[in-house]
Amino acid sequence: MRVTAVAILNTLLAALPCGPHCIVSPHPDDAALSMGGILMLLALSPAMPRRVLLTPFTRSIYAPGIPAESRTQEIVSVVRLQEDAAFASAVHAAYFPLDMPDASLRGYNDNTELGEVMDTDRSPGQLVSCLRAVIPSRLGVVWCPLAIGGHVDHILARNGVLSTVSADVVIIYYEDLPYAAGFDEATIGAFAQRVHENLQPLSIDIDSVWQAKLAGLRCYSSQLGKAELAAVEQAAVRRAIPPGKRAERIWIANGPIYVTLP
């Protein structure tokens, strides 16, 4: 029997607990970049678990795709919200923005946002409080970033999830793109092992929805340029099993309290 991409994903879905899926995207665009193909496949899946796209850091002044004179916090934040909502609609997910300021508005710069969380940063506690208030109590699966590349907002989102969800919720980690495209396999594996010692990689074939993934990324025209899209395609080709197709890679713990990998 030929196993299609949807069938592979459905095999995984069958092994997961029932209940809604919460997709945590630190910023607008992270989930689309890193697991947009999987979200397109989920939208096509007969199993159709209910999905919520939860984006914590939606306030920002970062928007290279809009004119410099328009890059006020108010305008940029509204544009990014609209882009993220359009993507959520495209993948048939409910949309839940948390309206928190991103690192650029909390005193970080391009270098420090890829480092340690500053002592003066109050967002870790605020984020956990928000997540406790909004993450559904009856949840099946949370998809969250591995935080490859070490962006403080990605680390906060991942750690916020880990300290919020109950032990019976399966956590699936996605590789943060485009950051992950810049690391070799050994480094990515080391990142994953630091998050959870039993994490195993699983490539999901997204070849059949590649054009749909690109269409989803076009929702984020204020953010994404040729460099980001090239890195996403390079990563998709590298992760494909067998070679010649495109894939997204996720990491999941394999064991009795988690899930038996297909």
Q: How many residues of this chain interact with Zn ion, rule: CB under 5 A?
A: 3
The minimum distance between CB 139 and Zn ion, in angstroms, equals 22
Q: How far is the CB of 21 from Zn ion (least distance, A)?
A: 20
What is the C-alpha to C-alpha distance for residues 77 and 59, in angstroms, rounded to an integer? 5
Smaller CB separation from Zn ion, 27 or 59: 27
**Least distance CB 157 / Zn ion (angstroms):** 8
CB of 108 to Zn ion, least distance (A): 12
Tell the smallest beta-carbon distance from residue 153 to Zn ion (Å): 6
The mark string for 237-256 relative to Zn ion (x by CB under 5 A, - otherwise) is --------------------
- Secondary structure class of 36 (helix, strand, coil): helix
Min separation Cβ 186 and Zn ion, Å: 23
In sign, the C-alpha dihedral spanning 73, 79, 83, 89 is: positive
d(CA 167, CA 165): 7
Nearest residue to Zn ion on Cβ basis: 27
Among the residue ranges 25-33, 129-137, 180-188, 216-224, the one whose residues contact Zn ion (CB under 5 A) = 25-33
> Contact at 8 Å (CB) between 12 and 262?
yes
Burial class from Cβ neighbours inside 10 Å (0-12, 13-18, 19+) for residue 17 reads: middle
Q: 148, 163, 156: which is closest to 122 by C-alpha?
A: 156
| Least distance in angstroms from the C-beta of 151 to Zn ion | 6
42, amino acid identity = L
- For residues 131 and 161, the answer to whether their CB atoms sit within 8 Å is yes
Nearer to Zn ion, 33 or 236 (CB): 33
In the complex with Zn ion, the residue whose CB is nearer, 164 or 223, is 223
Identify which of residues 12 and 188 has a Cβ nearer to Zn ion in the complex: 188
Could you tell me which stretch among 27-35, 43-51, 111-119, 224-232 binds Zn ion (CB under 5 A)? 27-35
- Specify the residue, 251 or 258, whose C-beta has the smaller distance to Zn ion: 251
Collapsing DSSP states into helix, strand and coil, what is residue 142? strand
CA end-to-end distance (rounded Å), the chain: 15
Residue of 6, 10, 12, 27 interacting with Zn ion (CB under 5 A):
27
Among 26, 28, 37, 101, interactor with Zn ion by CB under 5 A:
26
Q: Where are the beta strands (DSSP E) in the chain?
A: 21-24, 51-55, 94-97, 141-145, 170-174, 199-205, 247-253
What share of residues in the chain are helix, strand, coil (percent, to 5)? 45, 15, 40
30 near Zn ion, judged by CB under 5 A: yes
How far apart are CB 179 and Zn ion at their closest, in Å?
A: 8
Helix (H, G, I), strand (E, B) or coil at 23: strand
Based on CB atoms, which residue is closest to Zn ion, 30 or 84? Answer: 30
Where in 43-72 is the site for Zn ion (CB under 5 A)?
none
Point out which residues bind Zn ion (CB under 5 A): 26-27, 30
